[in-house]
Structure 1
Amino acid sequence: MTTETTTVDLPETLAVLVGGRYRTEDVPVRGGTMRVAVWEPEGGDASAPTVLAVHGITSSHVAWTLLAQAMPDVRVVAPDLRGRGRSRDLPGPYGMPSHADDCAAVLEHLGIEQALAVGHSMGGFVSLVLADRHPDKVTSVVLVDGGMPLEPPPGVAPEQLSQAILGPAAQRLAMTFADRPAYRELWAEHPAFTPDWTDLFTAYVDYDLVPDGDGGEWRPATRVEALQEDIRELVDGDSLLKALENLRHPARWLVAPRGLMDEVPPLYPEAARDRWTTELPDLQLSMVEDVNHYTIAMRQEGVDQIVSHIRAALAD
């Protein structure tokens, strides 16, 4: 199958933001093609290191735009995961092994022998499983407010897990919208993104909409069934627990002090941090200051901090 290179299907807000180093490719994977964004290093340096940037559970490659801009000497490869973004029509099964194998197929197809895996939120879980299933493809991993098993609230049944952990992020997947401005209005009320709205937030939200049949309405790109299948693995999935047991790559764990709704306690409270740094003594924990679960990767103050850890990992 021939890879198609394209920059179509970009909202104007994103096309303006991503810059001249950016392109997208549709890469063959199980069941179809996966949309992959590539920011090439300035000057076309073929020997430049590669960062494989893996997004969160209801996100897309657009979340990594500021990171790519902050690292012009690095190749950043960021797929839309199966069931999300412009890869939403790829079939199940989903789950961390499927996502990890997809990422390995992307690297193979692009001719990239090894990459530093950087995963935000669920992308951290994918990165760990990728490192376990395809160890030769990964140099090390950087986990951005993700990767370690989550603690569900007491008494929460499996079918309630997505709502309990993600809240509005899960609710909006069942909604439809008249147009992009209507979707922006929903996000503008999200406490993690207020009070200062940015161009990246607009591009991120605009890219997330896809047509909802022939009725002229729009819906979020993430498929509900992908969310439901994936989120159950973030607590005690077999592939994740195996990856942690077998962890042999250098790993950095960057944690936000506030959660998905800009709340305290964060996704990983102190007890969780203590548990996993005790069980994994080689895990390098760092707190990222004055960010929440989203802005750790999508505001400049968060990106500036995580870039320093990524550069340290590249230098190892």
Structure 2
Amino acid sequence: MTLGVAVDGGTLAVHELGHAPAGSPVVMALHGITANALAFGAVAQALNGDVRLLAPDLRGRADSRSVRGPWGLAAHAADVVAVLDAARVEHAILLGHSMGAYVAALTAYLHPSRVSSLVLVDGGVGFPAPEGDIDEALEKVIGPAMTRLSMTFPDDDAYLDFWREHPAIGPGLSAPYGDLLAAYLRHDLVGRDGERRSSCVLDAVRADGADVLADPVVLRSLREGTAPATLLYAARGLMNEPQGLLDADRIAAAELPATVRILPAGGVNHYTVLFEPQAVRLIAYAVGTSV
């Protein structure tokens, strides 16, 4: 089921993944910078209706691509509150992956009464802003992802063939969870055959990425926030390289408060942490113990 929620600049699409009994705890799942709500399909199956899982396509992506600016993580945090208001939910667990983890931490920092706890997956940890030009820093981190946004594909199969070459994502398309991964990737596509392209709005991606790297409030949100949190991190990186975005040393250097529980997610990478069964079970465990 998909809900339409009025937000500043348009209507946000919010997918309710799975079916939960009335009165179940509410979890809002927040995806990464060029991702969409269906990134949480495997997690929804693992949770098995134990919670009401609301997963918005964040503004400028997928079914929320027509939402206009403002861009940036503060706008996403305001959208989270708008979704809670529309769903008549006083407070919720926020589950965030990658950029979505930063949105979750920021929401909890700015609106503490609306967030009961956080589950952060391979993101949300603030580090000192990079020196020099932020656009150059952003290009180093997500340059390949931004290049994809300007590409066109003849059809959905060609888009999946493009992803089959990606070292972190491609092997997953042949895994038992491949159908869920393919559904997530297809949900990104818009346009007619011959001109299929990513739904992501490049200006939104750039603004959001700049906030993750350099916005001072975003960078201190988890460290100075009061919501209890669980942080899971993948051992491998964006291109399946052996160095992940986070590791024990980097997390220790961030000087997070004792309210943040740290759980290594094992040998998965930044993307498959949401699909590989052992990591998905760990995320479901973290959500269940946060209720």
Cα displacement (A) at 1:255: 0.6
User: d(CA) in 2 for partners of 1:159 and 1:174?
Assistant: 17
Q: Secondary structure at the match of 2:286?
A: helix
> Any residues of structure 2 matched to 1:100-115 within 5 Å, and which?
100-115=77-92
1:25 maps to: 3
Cα displacement (A) at 1:40: 5.3
Do the aligned partners of residues 245 and 300 (structure 1) sit closer, same or farther apart at CA in structure 2, a change above 3 Å counting?
closer
Query: Are 1:308 and 2:289 counterparts?
Result: no
Encode CA deviations 1:37-88: one digit per residue, 9 max, x unaligned: 013544xx22110111000000000001111111112100000001111111
1:211 maps to: 191
Encode CA deviations 1:147-188: one digit per residue, 9 max, x unaligned: 012578x77631123321124222201111111111111101
2:221 maps to: 243
Query: Are 1:264 and 2:242 counterparts?
Result: yes
Encode CA deviations 1:93-132: one digit per residue, 9 max, x unaligned: 2111100000110110011111100100000100011112
What is the percent sequence identity of the aligned residues? 38
Residues 168, 238 of structure 2: 8 Å contact kept: yes
Residues 84, 90 of structure 2: 8 Å contact kept: yes
Q: Secondary structure at the match of 2:252?
A: helix
Structure 1: where are the runs of 5+ without partners?
A: 1-22
Output the aligned Cα RMSD. 1.9
Q: Choose the corresponding residue for 2:180, options 200, 208, 221.
A: 200
Residues 162, 170 of structure 1: 8 Å contact kept: no
TM-score normalized by structure 1?
Answer: 0.85
Q: Secondary structure at the match of 1:232?
A: helix
Query: Are 1:182 and 2:158 counterparts?
Result: yes
Residues 156, 164 of structure 1: 8 Å contact kept: no
1:91 maps to: 68
TM-score normalized by structure 2?
Answer: 0.92
Cα displacement (A) at 1:302: 1.8
Cα displacement (A) at 1:299: 2.6
Do the aligned partners of residues 66 and 264 (structure 1) sit closer, same or farther apart at CA in structure 2, a change above 3 Å counting?
same
1:60 maps to: 36
User: d(CA) in 2 for partners of 1:196 and 1:235?
Assistant: 28
| Amino acid aligned to 1:208 | D
Residues 118, 143 of structure 1: 8 Å contact kept: yes
Structure 1 range deviating more: 66-75 or 139-148: 66-75
1:221 maps to: 199
User: d(CA) in 2 for partners of 1:232 and 1:111?
Assistant: 32
User: d(CA) in 2 for partners of 1:81 and 1:110?
Assistant: 16
Q: Secondary structure at the match of 2:153?
A: coil
For this pair of structures, how many residues does the alignment match?
286
Q: Secondary structure at the match of 1:112?
A: coil
| Amino acid aligned to 2:183 | A
User: d(CA) in 1 for partners of 2:229 and 2:282?
Assistant: 16
Q: Secondary structure at the match of 1:37?
A: strand
Residues 41, 48 of structure 1: 8 Å contact kept: no
> Any residues of structure 2 matched to 1:272-291 within 5 Å, and which?
272-276=250-254, 278-291=255-268
| Amino acid aligned to 1:267 | L
Structure 2: where are the runs of 5+ without partners?
A: none
User: d(CA) in 2 for partners of 1:109 and 1:180?
Assistant: 33
Q: Choose the corresponding residue for 1:148, options 125, 133, 137.
A: 125
Q: Secondary structure at the match of 1:261?
A: coil
Do the aligned partners of residues 151 and 179 (structure 1) sit closer, same or farther apart at CA in structure 2, a change above 3 Å counting?
farther
